[in-house]
Structures are given as C-alpha cells and as structure tokens.
C-alpha cells in the first residue's frame, strides 16, 4: 500500500469481501498445449535439444591411420570411439575402380578394406533408399546406415564419396563416418517398454503410439567414450494437434535418449517497450515479454520463455498477459475488469516482434514487465520453497479508479484467502501507478512480506503483522533493486520527485503521530537497510554489495515479524558458524547501520571496528619453495590491498611480512569480469599454523575489511605425473 490511510488497512484486515476470484477473470480462450508444454521436464528438455549428438573430431596425421601420408588431404578421428571421423584423399593417388564399376559395390569393398578403421563391419551395412546418388557433377555419394545384430544403431551412418574421373573410373575421395565405432552392449533388457509405460515415462497424455521399433542407442559415457543401450523408438501422434513426436527411450531404465517433433518451429522473440522505473524518468527500454500466453491462428497456445522466445507459426497471434502456471497476470480494470489483458499482434518477419510503448495499454504492459522483473530479482536470493509466491504469483489490476484507489495502490488479501495487487489509475493529481515500475515493486514487497516469516500465508495466516515493517519492506525491495534510495518518482503527475527517500536519519521510536503513520514509520527500517546497502557497497562494490545486502534483507524476513527484531535477525543470517558468541563477518556495518536508527538496542561499535571482507580470495601464483609464495588476490570492491603477518585488522609498512599488492592490469591468467585482481609486489612467507591478514582499502587508504588466511602444508604423497 502506497499512500494513506490506516482505515483502509484495517478494512483490509477485516477481510473486505471483494468478489474477485481467479475463476471470474479467466480468459475465454480454449487451451491447447503444444509440444513445448507437453510431457514432463525430461521430455521437454529432450525436445529442446532435438535430434543428434556429436563429438568434435580430432585431426590426426595420416600415418596414424595406416594410410600413406601422401594420399591424404585431411584426416580426423572420433575421440569417443577412435574410429575415423573423416578422411579426404588426393584422388590422383587414391584407390581406383575401373570404368563401369557399381558405386555401391565399390563402396562396400572400401568398407571391407577399412572395416576396423571405420568401426563399421560389412555385415552391418544397411543401404539407404536409392543407394548411391550423384548430388554434384561427377561426385557420387553412397550412404550406408548401420545395424548391429539386426538392430539399427541410432544416428550411425557412413558416407562414401567417389569422384568420377574423365576416363569413367571412380576414385575414393572422402569418408564421412559417424559409425560410433565398435559396439559393446551388455546383455540387458531388449524388450520394449509397453506404450502406457513409455508414455508415462515421458509424462505424455492424449497421445497415441503409432509405431515402435527396437534400436541400439549410443550415448557419451562418463569416460568420454561411447556406450550403447537397447532402446525403443516411438512415433507418437498428438491427439490434440497434428504434431508427431519421435521419442527414443532406453529399455532398461526408461531414460529419454532423444525426442523431436515433425514440426519445424520458428522461434520468435517478443519484447515490449516499458519503463525501467517510471514514465517521469522516460527510461524506456525493450524488455523480453516473459511467460505470456501466445494464441496462434490454428488455436494452439504457446508460452514465451524467460527471454521472450516462443515457437510460433503464421503471421499474427493474440497475446494474453498471464502466465500459464498462475504466475504474473494483469487485468486492465478500465477496459475489462473480468479478463486478463489480451491484444492482437502481427509477428515480425525477422523473428523479432517488438511491442512499442503505447501500442498496448501502458499501465498493463509496464506493470506486467515490472512484476516479472521483481520476481526474477527476488528469485535470485530465495527459492520457491522458501517463498511460494515465486511460483504462484499474484494477479494485479491496473487503472483502478475511484474511492480508496485515488492516488493509491495496495496489496489486498481477500476473505477467501486469495490476494491481488491494485495499481491506481491516473487522477486527482496522481499518475497512473501502472506507469511507475517502482510502485509495482513496492506492492510486490507486501506480497513478499505476506508469504515470509513465522506468520505467513503458507500456514494459512495473513503474513503482514507489522504494517510499518511491511511498508518498509516494499520500499527497501524497490530501493535495492534500483540501487537508489529515492523510490517511486513521478507518483504525483509529472513530478519527478520521489514519493519517499530512504537515505534519512529517522530513529526509532517515532517521535510523533505523523512519524508513526505506517508509511512514515516504515522509513525508519528502510533507512537502516539503505545505510547497510551503502556500507556493503563500499566493501564489495555495486554488484556484490547489492547481492549481499539483498540476501541479508530477504533471508532475515524468513525469521522476522517485526522490524524492531530485524537487527538480531540480520546478525543471525550473517552468522557463518551459527554461533552468536562469535562475531558475524559484517557485525560492524550491521551494528553501525542499525545503531544510526536506534534499532540495535544497546549494541554500538566504534569507528575502528573492521568487518571481514568475505570477497577476498587468494591464489598461489608461484611457489618459490621454502614457503616463499607469490600471491594473487581477488576482491569485489577494494581499490588497494596490503597484507602482513598475523590475525590483524590493519597493516603498516613496518609490519612483519608486509606486502603491497598492485592491480593486476593485463595479467592474462586472471578473470576479466566482476572482480578486481591484485598481484603481490613481494613474496609472502608461508608458515604452518601461521596466520596472514589481507586488508582491503578504498582509494584513500581507508580500511574496508580484512581477511585472515592460514597456510597449511599439503600432503603430496599421492602426486603423480
């Protein structure tokens, strides 16, 4: 809830009955699943991979192939079988067959001659339809498939290319071989699983098995070599469409080895132009249209993936802004309060379909993208087991007008236990809240609060027990995601000022009734967490600082109901050894942040309190012997690094073992992204059972954090070339 008043909150607590249930807002589209939605995860994964698995062949000298080097232009072996993968010959010197020779007989002769090298015995040859062909002038191609003891080896083939000479003779020009080499197969189950058993293994329903065939299935084993299994290839008719799937299932363990469709899907990426934060900042960008339902002209439905891709055909589709699995869904109250937003779309000819800003209701599209963005962000730090909201989502209504919705947005739990987010429409000097992504993030924060904590929706209770805290949670989530303490700019129409500012000095308890109002009071805890964010960012830089702050914040919500308990809860989350008696790595900055807002009880820390810089890691660059080590150091945010002996929080040049580490600018052996790397200007002397401290500092030399490492002699008795 963004604005105003406790009455509304109370009325929400009293379970105002709003007769909106998910059933009322169902789309009236019929639902057909395409292949990408059919089957279980294993089947879908196999479908996404399609047919074929390959190993890169390795070039080898011709003399290793028992061939004359001079005859060979190029040679490669398949490392998974040791068999020839491809060999090309100089046709002036290669094997010749006289004029009038049958190419198929010639090719069979060649297989006989090179059976071991090709890993393909003559009796295993299955001739393809039509036998040889002449795809290019004077180039004859003979393709053999392979059968082992009468069973087709999936994907195995040999191409023999013969060059027709001017005198009509044939010369061997090339082998292209995918025989998979010698087949070794355990005497295992060779009976095909029954149709029902097979379809159950793939999670396929409303299908009919048209045909099945026993095959040998090759696969790459853990040792990098081919292994073989009896398997069954099924041709499966989808009774809900004209699609036919081909699936190969291993007989012994019912593992899906391969699955593909008769349809050549066209991947299309859907993007929508939305605001990153607010219309008033005009920070437009194209966001992938995630998990939207796409209704095709033939009546089938596909869902876009996390990158906005979907397999579609035809020239136009209808988009429904609602994920299939109950995820994010948006209703435009002003247009149709009984259905999720839907609109027609002409597909882009280049595989990209972009939806410009304003071509669809801005509030609907913008909030849809914002809810997905915040779901993705929170999902980086919590699992759907911890926060079921990530899986079930929450429906949202935009352009809500009148009454309590004037200049307002809110998250509401209904008497039947369902919930929804309402984003107010434009009016009374306020902007359409749907055009401000920050508002969507803030309201989602309420939903997070509702789902997390000892009291939560997951155990059938309303999870929002401390409403000031809930407002703070919405603001903190918004600020953390945007890395800005100024939240919800443009709330008042065309006014770029933020609705609230988290960089503040507000202290607990609230000084007066105005400060006690939930939105205002929420700024106490929000200001605390913003301080924590800034402290973390100093040590760890913007990326890791943001990640660590957000992780502490969201995880502490799992165990906290009231913001006055947040301090101890954050320390608990930060405690690496689950022992409150030992200091958590960031106790200094946590205490400093909470103390500034009078939320740390009697705990205080001095300016000299130094946290552990958990980002610091060390690699021995060169071991010079006798414990003399040249070290590389990485850190997330430090600008300077020094080190010295002992378990200390600072090093002077006069300290024992002092080494300065300079930025490893062009060292090719360190990573290029994310972290900063430093190399020692001198060697560190390692001592068994000794400690060595590495100190991270900012540009001015101010200590940011410290990490103490130990060197331990390594057991080298098992080392072997």
Q: Choose between 346 and 716: whose C-beta lies nearer to other proteins.
A: 716
Query: Among 87, 231, 421, 632, which residue interacts with other proteins (rule: CB under 8 A)?
Result: 632
Q: Does residue 239 interact with other proteins by CB under 8 A?
A: no
CB of 538 to other proteins, least distance (A): 19
What is the DSSP pairing of strand 395-400 with strand 329-332?
parallel
Q: Choose between 427 and 627: whose C-beta lies nearer to other proteins.
A: 627
Q: Does residue 624 interact with other proteins by CB under 8 A?
A: yes
Using alpha carbons, list the distances in angstroms from residue 601 to 186, 557, 566, 567.
69, 19, 11, 9
Stretch that binds other proteins, among 19-27, 276-284, 479-487, 576-584 (CB under 8 A): 576-584
Question: Considering CB under 8 A, how many residues would be counted as binding other proteins?
Answer: 57
Stretch that binds other proteins, among 376-384, 425-433, 558-566, 619-627 (CB under 8 A): 619-627
Using alpha carbons, list the distances in angstroms from residue 667 to 134, 405, 467, 675, 698.
55, 58, 52, 13, 22
Phi first, then psi: give them for residue 70, nearest 5 degrees.
Answer: -70, -20
Query: Among 60, 145, 182, 225, which residue interacts with other proteins (rule: CB under 8 A)?
Result: 145
Stretch that binds other proteins, among 31-39, 107-115, 271-279, 611-619 (CB under 8 A): 611-619
Q: Choose between 128 and 169: whose C-beta lies nearer to other proteins.
A: 128
Q: Kindly state the DSSP code that residue 348 receives in the 8-state scheme.
A: P
CB atoms within 10 A of CB 13: 12
Binding to other proteins in span 84-143, by CB under 8 A: 128-129, 143
Stretch that binds other proteins, among 293-301, 313-321, 471-479, 711-719 (CB under 8 A): 711-719
CB of 246 to other proteins, least distance (A): 10
Q: Choose between 527 and 585: whose C-beta lies nearer to other proteins.
A: 585
- Angle subtended at Cα 306 by Cα 198 and Cα 398, rounded to the nearest 5 degrees: 120
Q: Does residue 224 interact with other proteins by CB under 8 A?
A: yes
Binding to other proteins in span 153-172, by CB under 8 A: 155, 157
Q: Does residue 266 interact with other proteins by CB under 8 A?
A: no
CB of 54 to other proteins, least distance (A): 6
Q: Does residue 627 interact with other proteins by CB under 8 A?
A: yes
Distance in angstroms (rounded) separating the CA atoms of residues 194 and 668: 56
Q: What is the CA radius of gyration of the chain?
A: 33
Query: Among 625, 653, 665, 699, which residue interacts with other proteins (rule: CB under 8 A)?
Result: 625
679-715 burial, b if ≥16 CB within 10 A, otherwise e?
Answer: bbeebbbbeeebebbbbbbeeeeebbbbbebebeeee
CB of 157 to other proteins, least distance (A): 7
Q: Which residues pair with 275 in a beta bridge?
A: 284
Enumerate residues 6+ apart whose C-beta is below 8 A from 601: 567
Query: Among 623, 652, 656, 681, which residue interacts with other proteins (rule: CB under 8 A)?
Result: 623
Q: Does residue 653 interact with other proteins by CB under 8 A?
A: no
Q: Does residue 495 interact with other proteins by CB under 8 A?
A: no
- Angle subtended at Cα 563 by Cα 558 and Cα 565, rounded to the nearest 5 degrees: 75
| Listed residue (192, 178, 180, 191) closest to 228, CA to CA | 180
Q: Kindly state the DSSP code that residue 583 receives in the 8-state scheme.
A: P
Q: Does residue 213 interact with other proteins by CB under 8 A?
A: no
CB distance 475 to 499 below 8 Å:
no
The interface mask with other proteins, positions 28-67, x = CB under 8 A, is ----------------------xxx-x-x-xx--------
Q: Choose between 228 and 678: whose C-beta lies nearer to other proteins.
A: 678
Distance in angstroms (rounded) separating the CA atoms of residues 31 and 240: 10
Distance in angstroms (rounded) separating the CA atoms of residues 526 and 522: 6
Distance in angstroms (rounded) separating the CA atoms of residues 161 and 174: 5
| Listed residue (150, 145, 220, 221) closest to 190, CA to CA | 150
| Listed residue (259, 194, 187, 193) closest to 228, CA to CA | 187
Q: Does residue 709 interact with other proteins by CB under 8 A?
A: yes
Q: Does residue 622 interact with other proteins by CB under 8 A?
A: yes
- Residue ranges with strand state E in 189-265: 207-220, 226-238, 244-250, 256-261
| Listed residue (500, 517, 513, 514) closest to 442, CA to CA | 500
CB of 37 to other proteins, least distance (A): 22
Q: Does residue 619 interact with other proteins by CB under 8 A?
A: yes
Q: Which residues bind other proteins (CB under 8 A)?
A: 50-52, 54, 56, 58-59, 79, 128-129, 143, 145, 155, 157, 178, 224, 260, 576-577, 582, 617-625, 627, 629, 632, 634-635, 647, 668-672, 674-675, 677, 686, 691, 707-714, 716, 719-721
């Amino acid at each position: 809830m963004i604005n105003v008043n406790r009455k509304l909150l109370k009325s929400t607590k009293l379970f105002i009955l709003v007769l909106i249930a998910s059933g009322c807002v169902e789309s009236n589209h019929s639902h057909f699943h395409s292949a990408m939605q059919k089957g279980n995860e294993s089947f879908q994964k196999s479908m996404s991979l399609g047919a074929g698995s390959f190993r890169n062949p390795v070039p080898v000298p011709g003399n290793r192939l028992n061939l004359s080097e001079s005859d060979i232009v190029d040679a490669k072996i398949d490392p998974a079988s040791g068999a020839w993968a491809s060999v090309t010959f100089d046709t002036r010197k290669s094997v010749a067959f006289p004029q009038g020779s049958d190419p198929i007989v010639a090719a069979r002769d060649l297989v006989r001659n090179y059976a071991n090298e090709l890993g393909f015995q003559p009796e295993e040859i299955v001739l393809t339809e039509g036998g040889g062909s002449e795809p290019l002038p004077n180039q004859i191609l003979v393709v053999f498939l392979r059968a082992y003891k009468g069973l087709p080896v999936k994907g195995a083939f040999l191409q023999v290319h013969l060059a027709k000479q001017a005198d009509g003779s044939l010369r061997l020009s090339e082998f292209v071989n995918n025989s998979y080499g010698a087949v070794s197969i355990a005497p295992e189950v060779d009976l095909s699983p029954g149709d029902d058993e097979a379809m159950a293994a793939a999670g396929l329903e409303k299908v009919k098995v048209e045909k099945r065939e026993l095959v040998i299935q090759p696969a790459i084993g853990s040792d990098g070599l081919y292994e073989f299994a009896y398997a069954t290839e099924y041709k499966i008719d989808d009774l809900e469409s004209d699609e036919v799937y081909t699936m190969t299932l291993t007989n012994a363990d019912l593992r899906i080895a391969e699955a593909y469709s008769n349809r050549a899907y066209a991947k299309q990426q859907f993007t929508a132009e939305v605001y990153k934060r607010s219309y008033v900042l005009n920070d437009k960008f194209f966001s992938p249209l995630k998990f939207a339902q796409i209704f095709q002209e033939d009546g089938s439905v596909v869902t876009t993936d996390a990158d906005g891709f979907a397999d579609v055909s035809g020239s136009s589709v209808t988009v429904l802004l609602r994920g299939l699995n109950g995820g994010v869904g948006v209703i435009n109250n002003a247009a149709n309060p009984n259905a999720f937003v839907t609109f027609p779309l002409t597909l882009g000819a280049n595989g990209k379909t972009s939806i410009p800003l304003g071509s669809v209701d801005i509030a609907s599209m913008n909030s849809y993208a914002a809810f997905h963005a915040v779901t993705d962000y929170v999902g980086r730090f919590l699992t759907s087991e911890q926060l079921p909201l990530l899986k079930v989502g929450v429906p949202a209504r935009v352009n809500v007008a009148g009454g309590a919705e004037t200049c307002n947005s809110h998250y509401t739990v209904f008497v039947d236990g369902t919930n929804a987010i309402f984003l107010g429409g434009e009016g009374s000097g306020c902007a359409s809240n749907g055009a401000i992504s920050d508002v969507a993030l803030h309201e989602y924060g309420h939903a997070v609060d509702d789902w997390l904590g000892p009291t939560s929706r997951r155990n059938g209770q309303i999870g929002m027990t401390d409403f000031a805290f809930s407002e703070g949670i919405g603001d903190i989530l918004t600020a953390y995601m945007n890395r800005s303490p100024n939240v919800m700019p443009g709330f008042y129409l065309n006014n770029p000022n933020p609705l609230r500012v988290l960089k503040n000095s507000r202290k607990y308890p609230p000084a007066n009734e105005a400060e006690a109002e939930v939105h205002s009071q929420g700024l106490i805890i929000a200001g605390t967490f913003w301080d924590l964010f800034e402290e973390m960012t100093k040590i760890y830089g913007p990326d890791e600082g943001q990640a660590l702050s957000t992780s502490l914040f969201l995880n502490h919500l799992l165990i906290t109901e009231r913001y006055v308990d947040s301090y101890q809860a954050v320390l608990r989350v930060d405690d690496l050894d689950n022992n409150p008696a030992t200091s958590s790595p960031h106790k200094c900055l946590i205490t400093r942040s909470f103390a500034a807002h009078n939320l740390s009880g009697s705990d205080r820390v001095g300016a000299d309190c130094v946290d552990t810089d958990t980002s610091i890691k060390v690699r021995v660059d060169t071991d010079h012997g006798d414990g003399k080590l040249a070290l590389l150091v990485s850190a997330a945010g430090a600008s300077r690094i020094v080190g010295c002996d002992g378990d200390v929080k600072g090093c002077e040049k006069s300290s024992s073992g002092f080494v300065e580490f300079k930025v490893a600018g062009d060292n090719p052996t360190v990573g290029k992204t994310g972290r900063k790397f430093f190399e020692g200007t001198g060697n560190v002397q390692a001592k068994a059972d000794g400690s060595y401290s590495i100190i991270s500092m900012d540009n001015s030399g101010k200590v940011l954090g410290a990490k103490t490492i130990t060197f331990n002699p390594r057991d080298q008795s098992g080392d072997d070339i």
